[in-house]
Structure formats: structure tokens, C-alpha cells
Amino acid sequence: MTAGPTREYFDPVRYISNRSSGKMGYAIAEAARRRGHSVILVSGPVALKPPTGVITKSIVSANDLFSSLKSNMKKCDVLVMAAAVCDFKPAFQSKRKIKKNTVNIPIRIIPTIDVLRKIEKYKKRRFFVGFAAETNDVLPNAYKKLMQKGLDMIVANDVSSPLSGFESNDNTVSIMFSGQKRATNWPLMSKKSVARMLVLEIEKKIHAGR
């Protein structure tokens, strides 16, 4: 289980990141643990208390996330990638704080590691679940990610809505499975309720042989 944002530093005190609070990922980790599953939670920097009974691994950057996943992959049957990985990082990281009075400093950004694509080669028979946080063309973008990243299931949500998504306690999601282009749309509900339903959906798919 992954959760929260990643950070990419351009000096020792400043970084590029995103608005992910980690609430969705933590809720899924807790729901899976309550269902009796052993859970390893790989978490970016968040202001949340880890669920009881869950092994928590703290990471910061996209590279950290990939390294943690790779080292723990042998222990898992299901990977749920709810973390909001920062897509960009500074091309150069200063070892000293860049002073405020420095004028016209260009900060060139480059893509971060594509964690899902890199981890796909370790998939084998494992069940992979991805998340697609989108602001437009939500379902087409989610379906594209489902197909391109070798996922078995994807959870799509519109993070532009003020009622759900990042930082909110509620969420509205749509789920799609590999080989099924049609999405199932769930109503607005608490992230804890979404988490419980997602865990049940994953269990059903695995028990049915996908």
C-alpha cells in the first residue's frame, strides 16, 4: 500500500510536491488490516497517524518510493498505488539554501522516475491497483493509464471538485478493471467507506481468479 505525496527538493529547505494528504491511502491500509490482511504502508510525508497493526515505511522522493517497493515486493500479493507521486523534479539540487535575494535563478525541471512502469517488471502474478487523480477527461485518462501501466484495476477521481479528492475526508471515484473499458461510478462517500468497498472489490477479483 502506498500513500501520500512525494517531495523533490531543489535546495535543503524547498521542494516541489502536490496536495495529497494521504487520507485515501491510509484509509485503505486500515480497511485491509481490519479485513485480516497483513499490510505494509509505504508513505510519503503526511500529518497522519499510521493505522494500528500496519507496518509503515516512510519515504520522501519518487526514487525512495521505488526503492521501498522493490525491496518489499516479495512480501506482497497485492500492490495498491494510492500515493500521488510528484511527476517532476529539479534538474539540479543545491546543497545550500538558495537565498531570497538571488535574482533570476532558472529552475529547470525534469520528469521523475515512472514508478508504476519501473515496478511492472516485478509484477508476475500480483494484483496491481493504480489511482488516477485527474482534473479533466477523467475516465479516458484513467483507462489509458490502466492499459499503459499493466494494472489490473484503476481508481479514478476528479480532484478538481471541492467536495472530494485531495485533502477532503470524502471522495467520488470510478473503478475500471483490465479488459473492461466500462467504468463503475460510485457516489460521494467518506474515504473510509470508499476504502472498505475497494478492499472488498479487490478480494472478489482475486478469489474469482480475476
User: Which residues are the active-site residues?
Assistant: 18
Sign of CA dihedral 8, 113, 81, 136: positive
b/e burial code for range 146-164 (CB count within 10 A of at least 16 → b): beebebbbbbbbbbeeeeb
Contact 71, 55 (CB under 8 A): no
- Which residues fall within 8 angstroms of residue 92, CB to CB, at 6 or more apart? 10, 108
Phi and psi, residue 91, nearest 5°: -70, -25
Reported for 178-182, long-range contacts at CB under 8 A and 24+ positions apart, including other chains, are 178/146, 178/147, 178/151, 178/152, 178/153, 181/143
Q: What length does the chain have?
A: 210
Q: How far apart are the first and last CA of the chain?
A: 19
- Determine whether 3 is exposed, middle or buried from the number of CB atoms within 10 Å of its CB (0-12, 13-18, 19+): buried
